[in-house]
Structure 1
Protein backbone atom coordinates (compact mmCIF):
# COMPACT_ATOMS: atom_id res chain seq x y z
CA UNK A 1 0.00 0.00 0.00
CA UNK A 2 1.14 3.52 -0.81
CA UNK A 3 0.06 6.40 1.42
CA UNK A 4 -0.55 9.78 -0.17
CA UNK A 5 0.85 13.05 1.17
CA UNK A 6 -2.29 13.86 3.15
CA UNK A 7 -2.08 10.62 5.12
CA UNK A 8 1.57 10.72 6.16
CA UNK A 9 2.37 10.38 9.88
CA UNK A 10 5.38 11.60 11.84
CA UNK A 11 8.26 9.15 11.73
CA UNK A 12 9.34 10.02 15.29
CA UNK A 13 6.01 8.64 16.47
CA UNK A 14 6.97 5.08 15.61
CA UNK A 15 9.34 5.05 18.58
CA UNK A 16 6.51 6.18 20.86
CA UNK A 17 4.17 3.58 19.38
CA UNK A 18 6.64 0.73 19.82
CA UNK A 19 7.21 1.80 23.42
CA UNK A 20 3.50 2.17 24.19
CA UNK A 21 0.62 2.49 21.69
CA UNK A 22 -1.38 4.53 24.21
CA UNK A 23 1.47 7.02 24.66
CA UNK A 24 1.57 7.46 20.89
CA UNK A 25 -2.20 7.94 20.79
CA UNK A 26 -2.17 10.57 23.53
CA UNK A 27 0.59 12.51 21.76
CA UNK A 28 -0.51 12.19 18.15
CA UNK A 29 -4.29 11.93 18.46
CA UNK A 30 -5.03 14.01 21.56
CA UNK A 31 -2.04 16.37 21.26
CA UNK A 32 -1.11 15.70 24.89
CA UNK A 33 2.42 16.30 26.10
CA UNK A 34 4.20 16.86 29.40
CA UNK A 35 7.93 17.22 29.95
CA UNK A 36 9.87 15.48 32.67
CA UNK A 37 13.60 15.31 33.36
CA UNK A 38 14.11 12.62 30.71
CA UNK A 39 12.32 14.47 27.92
CA UNK A 40 14.05 17.72 28.87
CA UNK A 41 17.47 16.07 28.67
CA UNK A 42 16.52 14.62 25.29
CA UNK A 43 15.51 18.05 23.97
CA UNK A 44 18.82 19.56 25.12
CA UNK A 45 20.75 16.79 23.36
CA UNK A 46 18.83 17.26 20.10
CA UNK A 47 19.20 21.03 20.30
CA UNK A 48 22.92 20.47 19.78
CA UNK A 49 22.35 17.87 17.08
CA UNK A 50 19.46 19.28 15.03
CA UNK A 51 21.08 22.03 12.95
CA UNK A 52 20.04 21.74 9.29
CA UNK A 53 22.87 24.04 8.20
CA UNK A 54 25.52 22.01 9.99
CA UNK A 55 28.10 20.33 7.79
CA UNK A 56 31.05 18.60 9.41
CA UNK A 57 33.97 17.07 7.57
CA UNK A 58 36.10 14.63 9.53
CA UNK A 59 38.65 13.16 7.19
CA UNK A 60 36.65 11.58 4.37
CA UNK A 61 33.39 11.57 6.38
CA UNK A 62 30.85 14.34 5.84
CA UNK A 63 28.07 14.66 8.43
CA UNK A 64 24.72 16.21 7.47
CA UNK A 65 22.21 17.25 10.13
CA UNK A 66 18.41 17.32 10.09
CA UNK A 67 17.85 15.78 6.67
CA UNK A 68 14.17 15.47 5.72
CA UNK A 69 13.12 11.93 4.80
CA UNK A 70 9.85 10.25 3.81
CA UNK A 71 8.45 6.91 2.71
CA UNK A 72 5.06 6.56 1.04
CA UNK A 73 5.25 2.80 1.56
CA UNK A 74 5.41 3.32 5.33
CA UNK A 75 3.36 6.51 5.26
CA UNK A 76 5.93 8.27 7.42
CA UNK A 77 7.91 11.49 7.17
CA UNK A 78 10.45 13.08 9.47
CA UNK A 79 13.92 14.46 10.04
CA UNK A 80 17.05 12.43 10.73
CA UNK A 81 19.47 13.45 13.45
CA UNK A 82 22.49 12.86 11.25
CA UNK A 83 23.56 11.22 8.02
CA UNK A 84 27.19 10.36 7.49
CA UNK A 85 28.54 10.27 3.95
CA UNK A 86 31.68 8.35 3.07
CA UNK A 87 33.19 8.39 -0.43
CA UNK A 88 32.75 5.43 -2.75
CA UNK A 89 34.26 4.40 -6.07
CA UNK A 90 31.01 2.72 -7.07
CA UNK A 91 27.63 4.06 -8.17
CA UNK A 92 25.88 1.00 -6.67
CA UNK A 93 23.90 1.70 -3.47
CA UNK A 94 25.36 5.18 -3.24
CA UNK A 95 24.01 8.69 -3.72
CA UNK A 96 25.09 11.90 -5.38
CA UNK A 97 25.13 15.16 -3.40
CA UNK A 98 24.72 18.58 -5.03
CA UNK A 99 27.53 20.09 -2.97
CA UNK A 100 30.00 17.20 -3.01
CA UNK A 101 31.17 15.55 -6.25
CA UNK A 102 31.37 11.80 -6.61
CA UNK A 103 29.45 8.92 -5.06
CA UNK A 104 28.71 8.58 -1.35
CA UNK A 105 27.78 5.76 0.99
CA UNK A 106 24.97 6.67 3.41
CA UNK A 107 24.83 5.95 7.15
CA UNK A 108 21.91 7.32 9.21
CA UNK A 109 22.79 7.98 12.85
CA UNK A 110 20.11 8.49 15.50
CA UNK A 111 21.11 10.15 18.79
CA UNK A 112 19.52 9.03 22.06
CA UNK A 113 19.72 10.60 25.50
CA UNK A 114 20.14 7.50 27.63
CA UNK A 115 21.57 4.05 27.08
CA UNK A 116 20.60 0.89 25.25
CA UNK A 117 17.01 -0.21 25.90
CA UNK A 118 15.72 -3.74 26.56
CA UNK A 119 13.04 -3.23 23.89
CA UNK A 120 13.32 -2.46 20.16
CA UNK A 121 11.86 1.07 20.12
CA UNK A 122 15.06 2.74 18.97
CA UNK A 123 15.82 0.04 16.41
CA UNK A 124 12.40 0.42 14.78
CA UNK A 125 12.81 4.20 14.55
CA UNK A 126 16.22 3.78 12.94
CA UNK A 127 14.89 1.10 10.57
CA UNK A 128 12.14 3.47 9.46
CA UNK A 129 14.78 6.09 8.61
CA UNK A 130 16.75 3.49 6.64
CA UNK A 131 13.65 2.48 4.71
CA UNK A 132 12.84 6.13 3.95
CA UNK A 133 16.32 6.73 2.56
CA UNK A 134 16.14 3.57 0.47
CA UNK A 135 12.86 4.63 -1.08
CA UNK A 136 13.98 8.20 -1.71
CA UNK A 137 17.32 7.35 -3.33
CA UNK A 138 16.56 3.87 -4.71
CA UNK A 139 19.39 2.28 -2.76
CA UNK A 140 19.77 -0.68 -0.40
CA UNK A 141 21.13 -0.04 3.10
CA UNK A 142 22.11 -2.88 5.40
CA UNK A 143 22.52 -0.95 8.64
CA UNK A 144 22.37 2.32 10.55
CA UNK A 145 23.71 3.44 13.92
CA UNK A 146 22.36 4.46 17.32
CA UNK A 147 24.47 6.76 19.49
CA UNK A 148 23.69 6.71 23.22
CA UNK A 149 24.77 9.89 24.96
CA UNK A 150 24.77 8.54 28.52
CA UNK A 151 27.30 5.82 27.78
CA UNK A 152 29.01 7.60 24.83
CA UNK A 153 28.56 4.54 22.69
CA UNK A 154 27.57 3.91 19.08
CA UNK A 155 25.79 0.69 18.22
CA UNK A 156 25.58 -0.51 14.63
CA UNK A 157 22.10 -1.91 13.95
CA UNK A 158 21.67 -4.33 11.06
CA UNK A 159 18.31 -3.78 9.39
CA UNK A 160 17.37 -7.32 8.49
CA UNK A 161 14.08 -8.61 7.07
CA UNK A 162 12.63 -9.34 10.50
CA UNK A 163 13.24 -5.77 11.67
CA UNK A 164 11.86 -4.38 8.41
CA UNK A 165 8.69 -6.45 8.78
CA UNK A 166 8.24 -5.31 12.38
CA UNK A 167 8.69 -1.69 11.31
CA UNK A 168 6.16 -2.03 8.50
CA UNK A 169 3.59 -3.69 10.79
CA UNK A 170 4.10 -0.95 13.34
CA UNK A 171 3.62 1.81 10.75
CA UNK A 172 0.50 0.15 9.32
CA UNK A 173 -1.03 -0.22 12.79
CA UNK A 174 -0.34 3.44 13.50
CA UNK A 175 -2.31 4.33 10.38
CA UNK A 176 -5.16 2.02 11.35
CA UNK A 177 -5.49 3.62 14.76
CA UNK A 178 -5.07 7.13 13.38
CA UNK A 179 -7.92 6.46 10.94
CA UNK A 180 -10.17 5.23 13.76
CA UNK A 181 -9.13 8.08 16.10
CA UNK A 182 -9.51 5.63 18.99
CA UNK A 183 -6.77 5.99 21.58
CA UNK A 184 -5.56 2.56 22.76
CA UNK A 185 -6.49 1.63 26.33
CA UNK A 186 -3.94 2.04 29.09
CA UNK A 187 -2.02 -0.93 30.43
CA UNK A 188 0.17 -0.54 33.50
CA UNK A 189 3.78 -1.70 33.50
CA UNK A 190 6.90 -0.73 35.49
CA UNK A 191 8.09 1.71 32.80
CA UNK A 192 4.89 3.76 33.18
CA UNK A 193 6.30 5.75 36.11
CA UNK A 194 9.11 7.07 33.91
CA UNK A 195 6.66 8.31 31.27
CA UNK A 196 6.01 12.06 31.18
CA UNK A 197 2.34 11.34 30.41
CA UNK A 198 1.78 9.23 33.53
CA UNK A 199 -0.63 11.69 35.16
CA UNK A 200 -2.56 12.09 31.91
CA UNK A 201 -2.66 8.40 31.03
CA UNK A 202 -3.58 7.14 34.56
CA UNK A 203 -2.59 3.54 33.78
CA UNK A 204 -3.51 2.26 37.25
CA UNK A 205 -7.14 3.14 36.68
CA UNK A 206 -7.48 0.32 34.16
CA UNK A 207 -7.05 -3.37 34.78
CA UNK A 208 -3.41 -4.45 34.76
CA UNK A 209 -2.18 -6.87 32.14
CA UNK A 210 1.10 -8.03 30.70
CA UNK A 211 2.87 -5.63 28.32
CA UNK A 212 3.88 -8.55 26.15
CA UNK A 213 0.20 -9.38 25.61
CA UNK A 214 -0.55 -5.74 24.82
CA UNK A 215 2.21 -5.42 22.25
CA UNK A 216 1.29 -8.78 20.77
CA UNK A 217 -2.22 -7.47 20.16
CA UNK A 218 -0.94 -4.40 18.29
CA UNK A 219 2.20 -5.65 16.59
CA UNK A 220 2.55 -9.40 16.46
CA UNK A 221 -0.92 -10.74 15.82
CA UNK A 222 -1.04 -12.72 12.59
CA UNK A 223 -3.06 -11.27 9.79
CA UNK A 224 -5.59 -13.44 8.04
Structure 2
Protein backbone atom coordinates (compact mmCIF):
# COMPACT_ATOMS: atom_id res chain seq x y z
CA UNK A 1 0.00 0.00 0.00
CA UNK A 2 1.31 3.42 -0.95
CA UNK A 3 2.12 5.76 1.92
CA UNK A 4 1.32 9.45 2.22
CA UNK A 5 4.20 11.80 1.43
CA UNK A 6 4.37 12.85 5.09
CA UNK A 7 4.94 9.22 6.12
CA UNK A 8 7.93 8.76 3.80
CA UNK A 9 11.37 8.88 5.37
CA UNK A 10 14.35 10.47 3.57
CA UNK A 11 17.07 8.21 2.21
CA UNK A 12 19.65 10.10 4.26
CA UNK A 13 17.97 8.80 7.43
CA UNK A 14 19.11 5.28 6.58
CA UNK A 15 22.76 6.31 6.61
CA UNK A 16 22.25 8.25 9.84
CA UNK A 17 20.56 5.23 11.45
CA UNK A 18 23.36 2.80 10.60
CA UNK A 19 25.98 5.28 11.78
CA UNK A 20 24.13 5.90 15.04
CA UNK A 21 20.39 5.45 15.78
CA UNK A 22 20.53 8.31 18.28
CA UNK A 23 22.02 10.65 15.66
CA UNK A 24 19.22 9.63 13.31
CA UNK A 25 16.59 10.43 15.95
CA UNK A 26 18.15 13.80 16.79
CA UNK A 27 17.95 14.80 13.13
CA UNK A 28 14.71 13.19 11.99
CA UNK A 29 12.67 13.09 15.23
CA UNK A 30 13.90 16.09 17.22
CA UNK A 31 14.74 18.10 14.06
CA UNK A 32 18.20 19.14 15.24
CA UNK A 33 21.24 19.84 13.09
CA UNK A 34 24.71 21.34 13.44
CA UNK A 35 27.27 22.06 10.73
CA UNK A 36 30.85 20.85 11.10
CA UNK A 37 33.95 20.86 8.93
CA UNK A 38 33.08 17.37 7.74
CA UNK A 39 29.45 18.12 6.89
CA UNK A 40 30.47 21.41 5.29
CA UNK A 41 32.98 19.64 3.07
CA UNK A 42 30.35 17.06 2.20
CA UNK A 43 27.89 19.79 1.28
CA UNK A 44 30.43 21.46 -1.00
CA UNK A 45 31.16 18.13 -2.67
CA UNK A 46 27.43 17.71 -3.35
CA UNK A 47 26.99 21.23 -4.77
CA UNK A 48 27.91 20.12 -8.27
CA UNK A 49 25.42 17.23 -8.21
CA UNK A 50 22.69 19.11 -6.34
CA UNK A 51 21.74 21.25 -9.35
CA UNK A 52 19.18 19.46 -11.57
CA UNK A 53 20.47 19.06 -15.09
CA UNK A 54 20.96 16.50 -17.86
CA UNK A 55 23.80 15.98 -20.30
CA UNK A 56 24.78 13.36 -22.86
CA UNK A 57 28.16 12.09 -23.93
CA UNK A 58 29.58 8.84 -25.31
CA UNK A 59 26.37 6.86 -24.98
CA UNK A 60 25.68 7.94 -21.40
CA UNK A 61 22.88 10.27 -20.35
CA UNK A 62 23.66 11.80 -16.94
CA UNK A 63 20.92 13.24 -14.71
CA UNK A 64 21.79 15.08 -11.48
CA UNK A 65 19.57 15.77 -8.47
CA UNK A 66 16.97 13.25 -9.61
CA UNK A 67 13.93 12.94 -7.27
CA UNK A 68 13.34 9.39 -6.03
CA UNK A 69 10.54 7.60 -4.22
CA UNK A 70 9.41 4.09 -3.36
CA UNK A 71 6.00 4.47 -1.66
CA UNK A 72 5.69 0.74 -0.99
CA UNK A 73 8.83 0.87 1.16
CA UNK A 74 8.08 4.35 2.48
CA UNK A 75 11.26 6.09 1.32
CA UNK A 76 12.00 9.20 -0.69
CA UNK A 77 14.99 11.34 -1.58
CA UNK A 78 17.21 12.74 -4.30
CA UNK A 79 19.95 10.90 -6.18
CA UNK A 80 23.19 12.82 -6.62
CA UNK A 81 23.77 11.35 -10.08
CA UNK A 82 21.99 8.73 -12.15
CA UNK A 83 23.78 7.65 -15.31
CA UNK A 84 21.70 6.02 -18.02
CA UNK A 85 23.96 3.72 -20.02
CA UNK A 86 22.79 2.85 -23.52
CA UNK A 87 22.99 -0.88 -24.19
CA UNK A 88 23.55 -2.62 -27.49
CA UNK A 89 19.83 -3.35 -27.55
CA UNK A 90 19.09 0.39 -27.54
CA UNK A 91 17.72 0.33 -23.99
CA UNK A 92 18.98 2.74 -21.32
CA UNK A 93 19.98 1.18 -18.01
CA UNK A 94 20.15 3.36 -14.86
CA UNK A 95 23.34 3.42 -12.81
CA UNK A 96 23.16 5.44 -9.54
CA UNK A 97 26.28 7.24 -8.30
CA UNK A 98 26.45 8.75 -4.79
CA UNK A 99 29.07 11.36 -3.85
CA UNK A 100 30.70 11.18 -0.41
CA UNK A 101 33.45 13.17 1.27
CA UNK A 102 36.39 11.36 2.83
CA UNK A 103 37.17 7.76 2.05
CA UNK A 104 35.42 4.36 2.18
CA UNK A 105 34.13 3.45 5.66
CA UNK A 106 34.31 0.20 7.66
CA UNK A 107 30.50 0.03 7.95
CA UNK A 108 27.89 -0.27 5.16
CA UNK A 109 25.89 2.93 5.70
CA UNK A 110 26.94 4.39 2.34
CA UNK A 111 26.20 1.13 0.52
CA UNK A 112 22.73 0.92 2.08
CA UNK A 113 21.87 4.48 1.07
CA UNK A 114 22.97 3.76 -2.51
CA UNK A 115 21.04 0.47 -2.59
CA UNK A 116 17.92 2.29 -1.39
CA UNK A 117 18.31 4.65 -4.35
CA UNK A 118 18.44 1.63 -6.64
CA UNK A 119 15.25 0.22 -5.08
CA UNK A 120 13.52 3.53 -5.81
CA UNK A 121 14.75 3.56 -9.41
CA UNK A 122 13.68 -0.05 -9.95
CA UNK A 123 10.19 0.82 -8.73
CA UNK A 124 9.96 4.04 -10.76
CA UNK A 125 11.41 2.68 -14.01
CA UNK A 126 10.25 -0.95 -13.75
CA UNK A 127 13.72 -2.38 -14.22
CA UNK A 128 16.49 -4.29 -12.44
CA UNK A 129 19.69 -2.53 -11.37
CA UNK A 130 22.59 -4.85 -10.56
CA UNK A 131 25.10 -2.25 -9.39
CA UNK A 132 25.97 1.39 -8.78
CA UNK A 133 28.96 3.35 -7.49
CA UNK A 134 30.15 5.45 -4.56
CA UNK A 135 32.52 8.34 -5.35
CA UNK A 136 34.73 9.47 -2.47
CA UNK A 137 36.13 13.01 -2.50
CA UNK A 138 39.32 12.20 -0.63
CA UNK A 139 40.40 9.33 -2.87
CA UNK A 140 38.70 10.73 -5.97
CA UNK A 141 37.80 7.23 -7.04
CA UNK A 142 34.63 5.27 -7.65
CA UNK A 143 33.88 2.12 -5.71
CA UNK A 144 31.51 -0.23 -7.52
CA UNK A 145 28.71 -1.54 -5.28
CA UNK A 146 26.91 -4.76 -6.21
CA UNK A 147 23.26 -4.81 -5.18
CA UNK A 148 23.28 -8.46 -4.17
CA UNK A 149 20.69 -10.20 -2.01
CA UNK A 150 22.63 -9.60 1.20
CA UNK A 151 22.81 -5.83 0.65
CA UNK A 152 19.18 -5.64 -0.47
CA UNK A 153 18.10 -7.53 2.66
CA UNK A 154 20.18 -5.25 4.93
CA UNK A 155 18.72 -2.20 3.19
CA UNK A 156 15.12 -3.35 3.65
CA UNK A 157 15.79 -4.20 7.31
CA UNK A 158 17.31 -0.76 7.84
CA UNK A 159 14.32 0.92 6.20
CA UNK A 160 11.93 -0.92 8.51
CA UNK A 161 13.97 -0.16 11.63
CA UNK A 162 14.40 3.52 10.73
CA UNK A 163 10.73 3.97 9.92
CA UNK A 164 9.73 2.32 13.20
CA UNK A 165 12.04 4.57 15.23
CA UNK A 166 10.92 7.76 13.52
CA UNK A 167 7.26 6.77 13.87
CA UNK A 168 7.74 6.08 17.59
CA UNK A 169 9.09 9.58 18.19
CA UNK A 170 11.59 8.05 20.63
CA UNK A 171 15.23 9.10 20.83
CA UNK A 172 17.56 6.24 21.86
CA UNK A 173 19.68 6.63 24.98
CA UNK A 174 23.09 8.24 24.70
CA UNK A 175 26.12 5.94 24.73
CA UNK A 176 29.53 7.53 24.31
CA UNK A 177 31.95 6.10 21.75
CA UNK A 178 35.08 8.10 20.99
CA UNK A 179 35.34 6.60 17.50
CA UNK A 180 31.80 7.65 16.53
CA UNK A 181 30.93 10.56 18.80
CA UNK A 182 34.07 12.66 18.44
CA UNK A 183 33.55 12.82 14.66
CA UNK A 184 29.84 13.61 14.87
CA UNK A 185 28.64 17.14 14.08
CA UNK A 186 25.92 16.74 16.73
CA UNK A 187 28.33 16.01 19.60
CA UNK A 188 27.61 19.27 21.45
CA UNK A 189 23.85 18.82 21.05
CA UNK A 190 23.84 15.11 21.83
CA UNK A 191 25.98 15.33 24.98
CA UNK A 192 26.57 11.55 25.10
CA UNK A 193 28.81 11.77 28.17
CA UNK A 194 26.11 13.53 30.17
CA UNK A 195 22.88 12.01 28.91
CA UNK A 196 22.81 8.36 29.89
CA UNK A 197 19.12 7.96 30.74
CA UNK A 198 17.54 8.50 27.35
CA UNK A 199 16.37 12.07 27.92
CA UNK A 200 15.69 14.00 24.74
CA UNK A 201 18.08 16.76 23.77
CA UNK A 202 15.17 19.20 23.85
CA UNK A 203 14.62 18.26 27.52
CA UNK A 204 18.33 18.81 28.25
CA UNK A 205 18.31 22.20 26.48
CA UNK A 206 15.29 23.34 28.47
CA UNK A 207 17.03 22.28 31.70
CA UNK A 208 20.13 24.26 30.74
CA UNK A 209 18.05 27.37 30.01
CA UNK A 210 16.28 27.10 33.36
CA UNK A 211 19.65 26.92 35.10
CA UNK A 212 20.92 30.13 33.54
What TM-score results when the alignment is normalised by the length of structure 2? 0.87
Task: Indicate the residue corresponding to 2:200 in structure 1.
Answer: none
**Residue by residue, what CA displacement relative to the aligned partner does 1:114-163 show, whole Å, maximum 9, x if unpaired?**
11001001000000000110111111111110000110110110011111
- SS for the counterpart of 2:91 is strand
Task: Indicate the residue corresponding to 2:52 in structure 1.
Answer: 52
Gaps of 5+ in 2: 197-212
Shift of 1:2: 5.0
Tell me: CA distance 1:165–1:3, structure 2 relative to 1, closer, same or farther (3 Å).
Answer: farther
Task: Indicate the residue corresponding to 1:82 in structure 2.
Answer: 81
- SS for the counterpart of 1:69 is strand
Task: Indicate the residue corresponding to 1:61 in structure 2.
Answer: 60
1:105-116 equivalence runs, <5 A = 105-116=93-104
- SS for the counterpart of 1:145 is strand
Matched, 1:21 2:9: no
Gaps of 5+ in 1: 91-101, 208-224
Matched, 1:191 2:191: no
Matched, 1:159 2:147: yes
Task: Indicate the residue corresponding to 1:10 in structure 2.
Answer: 10
Task: Indicate the residue corresponding to 2:70 in structure 1.
Answer: 71
Distance 2:65 2:103 in 1: 22
Matched, 1:175 2:174: no
What TM-score results when the alignment is normalised by the length of structure 1? 0.83
- SS for the counterpart of 2:112 is helix
Shift of 1:29: 0.7
- Deviation larger for 25-34 or 179-188: 179-188
1:180-219 equivalence runs, <5 A = 180-189=168-177, 190-206=179-195
Shift of 1:59: 1.4
- Deviation larger for 174-183 or 127-136: 174-183
Pairs aligned (count):
195
Shift of 1:188: 1.6
**Residue by residue, what CA displacement relative to the aligned partner does 1:154-180 show, whole Å, maximum 9, x if unpaired?**
011001111111111111111111221
Runs of 4+ in 1 over 2 A off after TM superposition: 1-6, 55-58
